[in-house]
């Protein structure tokens, strides 16, 4: 699935708008380690691979930024 994902650095969040639903992945940073704390995909858009796409974006960013 191709999504337009925004990295909201100050909020420690990745977000994507799907149809009219806001989908998010929240994370914390400590000692150079990203910990994913929450993914949220509303019921009306579940089952499309959105959460896994958000996780992949977070992992790609973590790797790229060391």
pLDDT tens sequence for the chain (66 residues): 679 999 999 999 999 999 999 999 999 999 999 999 999 999 999 999 999 999 999 999 999 998
Give this prediction's pTM. 0.92
**34 half-sphere exposure, CB direction, 13 A CA radius:** 21
What pLDDT, on a 0 to 100 scale, did the predictor assign at position 66?
85
Q: Beta strand 33-40 with 13-18: parallel, antiparallel or unpaired?
A: unpaired
Select 5-64's CATH number: 1.10.760.10, 3.40.630.30, 3.40.47.10, 3.30.413.10: 3.40.630.30
Cβ neighbours for 46, distance < 8 A, ≥ 6 positions apart: none
Cβ neighbours for 45, distance < 8 A, ≥ 6 positions apart: 18, 19, 21, 23
Quote the CA–CA distance of 17 and 63 in Å, as a whole number: 24
Domain ranges of the chain: 5-64
């Amino acid at each position: 699935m191709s999504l337009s994902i925004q990295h909201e650095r100050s909020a420690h969040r990745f977000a994507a708008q799907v149809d009219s639903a806001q989908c998010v992945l929240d994370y914390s940073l400590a000692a150079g380690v990203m910990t994913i704390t929450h993914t949220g995909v509303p019921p009306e858009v579940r089952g499309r691979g959105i959460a896994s796409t958000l996780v992949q974006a977070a992992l790609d960013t973590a790797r790229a930024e060391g």
